[in-house]
């Protein structure tokens, strides 16, 4: 008599949990569909032969898949623009991490006059909308002769992204146990060696997060590149994609194919570094 009475609430609870799990799945799938839908549609379009692209009814999985659009892109030299984007993005990532980690370490661990002002400036810089400084930046860049150059673009991306990198790394360095740095100093490291041998190796997640911020910005940027550059040989990928839109009118094939090409490296980098987002790198160093 008493056994079923005890079981019933448990069973009800279990079924409620199952419902909740199903609801969770449905919501997850809906969100994924909204986020991934356009990308997958673009991928599908890029693989269809030109006549099928606007056919009705549309087919999601191409019945006659082709790589002709990709072939066209490479014949017209898209790899050149991919390379430009890669050079500029890599330079921006390396520069902003190198400068940002020095600045962030000084802010996190050293006492100096004007520190609060520097922190405030870093914060304030992050809130300035990029388009509002385009024209003065162009004038500035022109006066030092760096318009229409990859160097100029890399420096600009570094400048735009440095505040967020400093801010992220400042926060991350603050979470590291300061005793490790004291130990390194006593073991004979200078401040710079301490940063290089102890702080940076333990800051993987912070460095990766910062690098991804800079990378996605630099890789995807259109507006800065289109303003600061004009000639073909320094064109970056997003600007080139825009060019395809212009040159080929409503020819969706090359357009979606180039968009796919531009997405792939960023996705690859995210997948490669996702384990660094998981923290816990400092486990075991500090007891108590």
Find out whether 39 and 239 touch, Cβ atoms under 8 Å. Answer: no
- Return the residues of window 60-79 that contact another protein according to CB under 8 A: none
Residue tagged 């419902």 (tokens): 19
Q: Which is nearer to another protein, 80 or 185 (CB)?
A: 185
**Which one of residues 78, 82, 141, 198 is an interface residue with another protein (CB under 8 A)?**
198
Q: Binding residues for another protein, how many (CB under 8 A)?
A: 25
201 near another protein, judged by CB under 8 A: yes
Q: Judging by beta carbons within 10 Å of its beta carbon (0-12, 13-18, 19+), is residue 23 exposed, middle or buried?
A: exposed
Residue 256 tokens read as 């979606």
1 near another protein, judged by CB under 8 A: no
Count helices and strands in the chain by DSSP H and E runs? 13, 0
Cis peptide before 164 (omega within 30 of 0): no
Binding range to another protein, per CB under 8 A, among 17-25, 156-164, 249-257, 275-283: 275-283
232 near another protein, judged by CB under 8 A: no
Binding range to another protein, per CB under 8 A, among 45-53, 68-76, 182-190, 242-250: 182-190
Find out whether 148 and 234 touch, Cβ atoms under 8 Å. Answer: yes
**Which one of residues 97, 184, 212, 215 is an interface residue with another protein (CB under 8 A)?**
184
Q: Which among 235, 253, 243, 54 has a CA at the least distance from the CA of 150?
A: 235
189 near another protein, judged by CB under 8 A: yes
Total residues found in the chain within this entry: 288
**Which one of residues 9, 188, 246, 249 is an interface residue with another protein (CB under 8 A)?**
188
146 near another protein, judged by CB under 8 A: no
Distance (Å) of CA 56 to CA 21, 46, 49: 38, 17, 14
Interface ranges with another protein (CB under 8 A): 177, 179-180, 182-190, 193, 197-198, 201-202, 281-288
């Amino acid at each position: 008599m008493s056994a079923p009475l005890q079981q019933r609430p448990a069973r009800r609870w279990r079924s409620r949990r199952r419902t909740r799990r199903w609801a969770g799945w449905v919501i997850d799938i809906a969100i994924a569909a909204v986020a991934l839908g356009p990308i997958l549609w673009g991928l599908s379009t890029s693989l269809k032969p030109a006549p099928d692209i606007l056919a009705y009814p549309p087919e999601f999985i191409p019945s006659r898949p082709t790589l002709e659009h990709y072939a066209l892109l490479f014949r017209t030299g898209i790899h050149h623009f991919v390379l430009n984007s890669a050079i500029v993005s890599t330079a921006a990532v390396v520069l902003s991490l190198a400068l940002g980690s020095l600045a962030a370490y000084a802010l996190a661990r050293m006492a100096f006059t004007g520190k609060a002002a520097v922190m405030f400036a870093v914060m304030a810089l992050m809130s300035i909308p990029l388009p509002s400084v385009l024209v003065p930046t162009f004038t500035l860049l022109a006066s030092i002769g760096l318009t229409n150059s990859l160097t100029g673009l890399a420096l600009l991306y570094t400048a735009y992204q440095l505040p967020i990198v400093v801010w992220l790394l400042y926060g991350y360095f603050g979470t590291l146990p300061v005793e490790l740095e004291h130990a390194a100093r006593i073991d004979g490291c200078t401040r710079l060696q301490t940063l290089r041998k102890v702080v940076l190796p333990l800051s993987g997640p912070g460095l990766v997060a910062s690098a991804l911020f800079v990378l996605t910005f630099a890789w995807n940027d259109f507006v800065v590149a289109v303003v600061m550059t004009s000639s073909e040989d320094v064109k970056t990928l997003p600007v080139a994609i825009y060019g395809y839109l212009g040159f080929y009118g409503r020819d969706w094939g090359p357009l979606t194919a180039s968009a796919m090409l531009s997405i792939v490296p960023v996705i690859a980098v995210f997948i490669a570094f996702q384990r660094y987002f998981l923290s816990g790198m400092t486990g075991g160093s500090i007891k108590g």
